[in-house]
A and B are shown apart, each in its own frame.
Chain A
Amino acid sequence: MSPPHRVNPQPLSLSPRQPKDPTTTKMARINFSVLTILSVILLLPVLSLSFSPDSPSDRRLLVLFDDLSLKSSHSIFFNSLKSRGFDLDFKLADDPKLALQRYGQYLYDGLILFSPSIERFGGALDLAAVLDFVDSGHDLIIAADSSASDLIKSVATECGVDFDEDPSALVIDHRSYAVVGTEGDHTLIAADDFIESDVLLGENKIELKVRVLNVYGFWIKQAPVLYKGIAHSLNAANNLVLKVLSASPAAYSANPSSKLSSPPSLTGSSISLVSVVQARNNARIMITGSLDLFSNRFFRSSIQKAGSPKKYDKSGNEQFVAELSKWVFHERGHLKAVNLRHNKAGETDEPAMYRIKDDLDFSVEIYEWSGKSWEPYVANDVQVQFYMMSPYVLKTLSNDKKGLYHTSFKVPDVYGVFQFKVEYNRLGYTSLLLSKQIPVRPFKHNEYERFITAAFPYYGASFTMMAGFFIFSFVYLYHK
């Protein structure tokens, strides 16, 4: 047996979450074969690192920079990612060897575009490649700033977000700017208009938050996030994109260094500062117009919103970015539904076809990915439809707190090709769209009711006639 063959199976059996490089180098050390082995080794990561359905979290990320100084200026963010177990691959955006996939396999699970000014990616990467990357289920973070290139803008546009077309415009807010030492041009904003979703932003906000009494009751308020960058708006035609952090109503997008000659095109809370998209294939995209949002400087900076007496020692950026990146990289809010099962009441096997008015049991298991393992997902709003052009049965599933959702119902008195449909779309969670086709047939000829009481006279008449026939024949033949 030649050495390559021996090498092959071992890495394949590795769990995808284990770091790859040590293994391969160790292999290389063990086998002193030369080029052939080397090529195999190069292949190994590809084979073994492919996305595993068992753990939806991303592992390998590609980070693209305009210049490598960002690596140090944003190191806190990167280190937090590394500490969460990600493999980061830092590259210059115009690196001629840039490639997202090799031999039809994607090399990365996620892409972070920290290269706002790049006009053309190096290597095999281009707009279509980035979109394909997303369309095949991988995640993307785009951070732009005032130098955003057309390329970055068009990537964002394809994801349903339009950056301000004016290249010199920044988000300006004269009311909720961040108070810094000197009176600036109010382009450094303290934004705190978050989306209300624990799934997106995480639940552990207690240390950094104060409770603020609001007309709506108690709600948790996070420290504002420092933002300096360009504005974008959501494309109204896209119903998948969400504003996670929007600007205050007083904000507008304009060139801070020149006087306003015409009303700004983007104003108020229609300006989005950070948006996310969850595509139909559950690929997640985060788009922001501020690269500084992720920077060490903003992470470490204290913050005081203009007009607010409260001064936070630390801006909300680090937590905000960390929590959102957890969501983007599928460490949170990822559901899976498995074992969709249905059977006739009292049976266990799944039939190929139901009959009208059958009683049936339906069950499905739903789990949530906690970042490490699949935990039962508990909710009381999961529904199943028994659907043929329109739902004939719509039932809320009851769950046993262990992930098993269950219900039973009677098949309607309509035949046709039905579907069990579970459509579960909740903010932040991956959407569950399950459907299973099942035909429902009418009664067979021998399944109808028989010996109906109301029909006894008819039975009687028929048999009387028959008897009458015999008697008549008898009498008729022998009456002489």
Chain B
Amino acid sequence: MARTTSSDAQALFHSLRSAYTSTPTSLKIIDLYVCFAVFTAIIQVVYMAVVGSFPFNSFLSGVLSCVGTAVLAVCLRIQVNKENKEFKDLAPERAFADFVLCNLVLHLVIMNFLG
């Protein structure tokens, strides 16, 4: 059973990797960015679990800035992905502009909330 699972997982990993290599570079950059954000968020959650949730607003703003960044980046990724037919008539420039706008708002609010 364990063997089959591990082999399954291996096969899964391989096929995922092969499929992923065909992704355009711009999307890969976004993926990297998303991973970075999620990773930071996880670190903070772990830190909070260790230290305690005292400056709760700081914790929330820290984590939410990461989560927000990640989510917005994923949204951007969805919008600029050529394969998504739904966003045919949305220009990538427009998508990026929206993304920048949302990020600005996000970080401004985070700044307000941090202290």
Direct contact, A vs B (beta carbon within 8 Å): yes
A residues with CB within 8 A of B: 450-452, 454-455, 457-462, 464-466, 468-469, 472-473, 475-477, 479
The residue among A454, A472, A473 with the most chain B CB atoms within 10 A of its own CB is A472
Judge if B81 is at the interface, Cβ distance under 8 Å: no
Most buried by B among A450, A458, A473: A458
**B115/A461 in contact, CB under 8 A:** no
Q: Known contacts A465-B107, A473-B100, A476-B26: does B58 contact A459 (CB below 8 Å)?
A: yes
Residue B51 at the A interface, CB < 8 A?
yes
Q: How does the 8 Å CB contact mask read for B77-99 relative to A, with 1 for contact and 0 for none?
A: 00000000000000000001000
Contact segment of B6-14, B15-23, B60-68: B60-68
The interface of chain B, by Cβ under 8 A from chain A, is 25-26, 29-30, 33, 36-37, 40-41, 43-44, 47, 51-52, 54-55, 58-59, 61-63, 65-66, 69, 73, 96, 100, 103, 107, 110-111, 114-115
**Ranked 9 nearest A-B pairs via Cβ:** A458-B62, A455-B58, A455-B55, A458-B58, A461-B62, A465-B65, A462-B65, A472-B33, A452-B55
A479–B55 CA distance with the chains assembled, in angstroms: 39
Nearest B-chain residue to A452, judged by Cβ: B55
Dominant SS at the B interface?
A: helix
Given pairs A457-B43, A465-B65, 15 additional interface contacts (CB within 8 A): A451-B115, A455-B58, A455-B59, A458-B44, A458-B63, A459-B58, A459-B114, A461-B62, A462-B61, A462-B114, A466-B110, A468-B33, A468-B37, A475-B29, A479-B25
Query: Given A452, A462, A475, A476, which contacts B62 in the complex, CB threshold below 8 Å?
Result: A462
Residues of B within 8 A of A462 (CB): 61-62, 65, 107, 110-111, 114
Give 11 CB contacts A-B under 8 Å. A458-B59, A458-B62, A458-B63, A458-B114, A462-B65, A462-B107, A465-B107, A466-B65, A468-B33, A468-B37, A469-B103
| Given known A-B contacts A454-B54, A455-B59, A461 and B29 have beta carbons under 8 A apart | no
In the assembled complex, the Cα of A27 lies from the Cα of B72 at a distance in Å of 98
Q: Which residues of A contact B96 (CB under 8 A)?
A: 476-477
B33 CB to closest chain A CB (Å) equals 5
> Among the listed B30, B47, B58, B65, which residue makes an inter-chain contact with A452, where contact means beta carbons less than 8 Å apart?
B58
Q: A476-B26, A476-B29 are in contact. Are A461 and B66 (CB under 8 A)?
A: yes
B29 to chain A, nearest CB (A): 6
- Rounded to whole angstroms, the CA-CA distance of A298 and B3 in the bound complex is 120
The smallest C-beta distance from A315 to any residue of chain B, in angstroms, reads 78
Query: A450-B115, A468-B33, A479-B25 known; A457 and B107 CB under 8 Å?
Result: no
Q: Looking at A457, A473, A475, which has the most chain B CB atoms within 10 Å of its CB?
A: A457
Given the complex, which residues of B lie within 8 Å of A472, measured CB to CB?
29-30, 33, 73
A459 contacts B62, C-beta separation under 8 Å:
yes
Closest partner residue, chain B, to A451 (CB atom): B115
**Contact (Cβ within 8 A) B43 A461:** yes
Cβ 8 A contact of B26, one of A454, A468, A479: A479
Q: Which residues of A contact B107 (CB under 8 A)?
A: 462, 465-466, 469
The residue of chain B having its C-beta at the shortest distance from the C-beta of A469 within the complex is B103
List of A residues within 8 angstroms of B36 by Cβ: 468
Q: Is the CB of A464 within 8 A of B40?
A: yes
Interfacial chain A residues near B54, Cβ < 8 Å: 452, 454-455
Cross-chain contact A468 with B69 (CB below 8 angstroms): yes
The smallest C-beta distance from A445 to any residue of chain B, in angstroms, reads: 9
Given contacts A454-B51, A457-B44, A458-B59, contact A465 B66 (CB under 8 A): yes
Q: Which residues from B are CB-within-8-Å of A476?
A: 26, 29-30, 96
Contact partner of B65 (CB less than 8 A), chosen from A455, A461, A473, is A461
Closest CB in chain A relative to B71 CB, distance in Å: 12
Residues of B contacting A469 in the complex (Cβ-Cβ under 8 angstroms) = 69, 103, 107
Chain A residues within 8 Å of B110, by CB: 462, 465-466
CB B93 to nearest CB in A, in angstroms, measures 10
